[in-house]
């Protein structure tokens, strides 16, 4: 929609419905709460657990004068809460991805299939392993399209990195079935989807390995931190050695260098006790955090679902949605940007610096073609690894710029995003609905 059409529609609306962007009265003037889901729930419980570690003077996981065993307790509760056979707490979700690549022995001569709507950490882990990322398009769930995945599997394909983007799983059951049929490893990136599920099965239980993140933007937070879950004892043992210094630990917490099958090169990505104390307190609250976001999001969706010209993201299992993002598609790129600008003018925005309401054209390195180091095949080493490795010559013509994944590009152009804060009041939700309906009547009616 061009500016002239927008102005014409606005001038034909009743005065009481004139858009704020055109001089009308905004729906609200106070900013929405910060969108950081777990941070809004931090209280005395986090302080209590962190203080116990400080008072014990034992912030290291494996030994100390009076260990509070926060990391052990956190891993145990995670296993019990989500049914994972093995869980390993680590320093970040980014580290977890690299550990997962190494645990599966991925490297030169192999490619890892990954969706084009992702985060930069996904491709960086593949590249640092020496393997090649191969892009797969998304479907209306904004997650990997199983049909496009099948079409892109080739003789060098070794693993699939399926990303549960923006808090809700896509067709993960179909992707898991394809991986089984094709003999491919499946890694689930659940960084944005802690607490989500798919028809009753928690995310992370479909793949060989799965990772989670507890960075500030995530459903639960310890500032930084991550989790790796695995199906088998062998994979778990490898992740334990790799996240540490390349070796397992004895019962006393000292490095054990005697086992010949566990003499690897580690990353020093251990989770400290202070981080685990925060994460443990947040894990206790995670069901309430995700319920709050899911309820607010689906109230907004219900109110807007039949709006002409507005397409809401397809969520295959609404009950398993963890709720932190509302994704929308508008008829074209100009309308998407005008939609966001009009909503912001109505007061649907967060505090200064917030990304509460944005056009997906501005969603940065969540889109593969906005990652310069990927598009230009940059390397951390002078020899150009992995792009220069002779075993990776099969990928010489692989492209990562625009023109590769048509749905990713279309959704980026037409998309709009509203973050769903975990502390939205009923008035906040009502204001969001009122503003969306007001803007829709003028722009999309």
Angle between helix axes 93-103 and 120-128 (nearest 10 degrees) is 40
Name residue 144's beta-bridge partners: 138
Name residue 223's beta-bridge partners: 215
Q: Which of 70, 354, 68, 117 is nearest to 225 (CA)?
A: 70
Report how far residue 379's alpha carbon sits from residue 373's, in angstroms, rounded to the nearest whole number. 8
Burial grade of 95 (CB within 10 A; 0-12, 13-18, 19 or more): buried
Residue in this structure with the two tokens 């991805």, named with its chain if needed: 97
Report how far residue 415's alpha carbon sits from residue 389's, in angstroms, rounded to the nearest whole number. 37
On whether the CB atoms of residues 326 and 307 are closer than 8 A, the answer is no
Q: Which of 103, 347, 349 is nearest to 232 (CA)?
A: 103
On whether the CB atoms of residues 96 and 226 are closer than 8 A, the answer is yes
Please state, in angstroms and as integers, the Cα–Cα distance from residue 113 to each residue in 129, 132, 168, 339, 432, following that order.
14, 9, 20, 34, 37
Catalytic hit among 134, 150, 218, 297? 218
On whether the CB atoms of residues 273 and 60 are closer than 8 A, the answer is yes
In 3-state terms the chain splits into helix, strand, coil percentages (rounded to 5) of 45, 15, 40
Strands, E, within 33-145: which ranges?
86-90, 111-115, 132-136
Q: Is 218 a catalytic residue?
A: yes
User: Which residues have a catalytic role annotated?
Assistant: 218
């Amino acid at each position: 929609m061009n500016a002239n059409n927008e102005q014409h529609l606005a001038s034909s609306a009743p005065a009481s419905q004139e858009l704020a962007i055109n001089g009308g009265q905004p729906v609200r003037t106070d900013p929405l709460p910060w969108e950081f889901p777990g941070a809004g729930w931090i209280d005395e419980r986090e302080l209590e657990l962190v203080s116990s570690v400080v008072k014990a003077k034992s912030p290291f996981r494996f030994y100390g004068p009076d260990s509070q065993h926060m990391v052990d307790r956190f891993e145990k509760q995670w296993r019990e809460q989500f049914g994972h056979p093995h869980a390993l707490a680590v320093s970040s979700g980014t580290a977890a991805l690299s550990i997962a690549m190494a645990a599966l022995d991925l490297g030169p001569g192999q490619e890892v299939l990954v969706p084009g709507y992702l985060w930069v950490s996904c491709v960086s882990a593949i590249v640092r392993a020496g393997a090649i990322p191969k892009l797969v398009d998304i479907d209306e769930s904004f997650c990997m399209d199983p049909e496009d995945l099948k079409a892109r599997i080739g003789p060098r394909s070794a693993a699939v990195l399926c990303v549960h983007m923006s808090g809700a799983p896509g067709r993960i059951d179909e992707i898991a079935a394809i991986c089984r049929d094709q003999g491919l490893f499946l890694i689930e990136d659940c960084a944005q989807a802690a607490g989500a599920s798919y028809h009753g099965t928690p995310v992370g239980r479909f793949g060989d390995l799965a990772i989670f993140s507890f960075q500030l933007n995530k459903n639960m937070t310890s500032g930084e931190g991550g989790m790796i879950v695995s199906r088998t004892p062998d994979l778990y043992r490898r992740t334990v050695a790799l996240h540490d210094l390349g070796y397992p630990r004895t019962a006393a917490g000292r490095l054990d260098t005697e086992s010949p099958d566990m003499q690897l090169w580690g990353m020093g990505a251990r989770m400290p006790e202070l981080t685990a104390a925060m994460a443990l307190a947040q894990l206790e609250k995670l069901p309430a955090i995700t319920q709050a976001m899911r309820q607010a999001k689906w109230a907004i969706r219900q109110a807007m679902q039949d709006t002409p010209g507005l397409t809401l993201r397809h969520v295959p299992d609404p009950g398993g949605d963890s709720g932190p993002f509302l994704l929308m598609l508008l008829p074209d790129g100009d309308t998407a940007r005008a939609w966001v600008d009009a909503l912001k003018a109505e007061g649907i925005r967060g505090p200064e610096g917030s990304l509460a309401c944005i056009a997906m054209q501005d969603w940065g390195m969540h889109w593969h073609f906005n990652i310069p180091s990927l598009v230009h095949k940059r390397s951390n080493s002078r020899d150009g690894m992995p792009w220069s490795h002779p075993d990776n010559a099969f990928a010489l013509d692989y492209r990562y710029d625009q023109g590769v994944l048509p749905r990713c590009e279309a959704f980026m152009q037409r998309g709009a995003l509203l973050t769903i804060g975990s502390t939205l009041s009923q008035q906040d939700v009502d204001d969001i609905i009122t503003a969306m309906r007001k803007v829709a009547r003028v722009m999309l009616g």
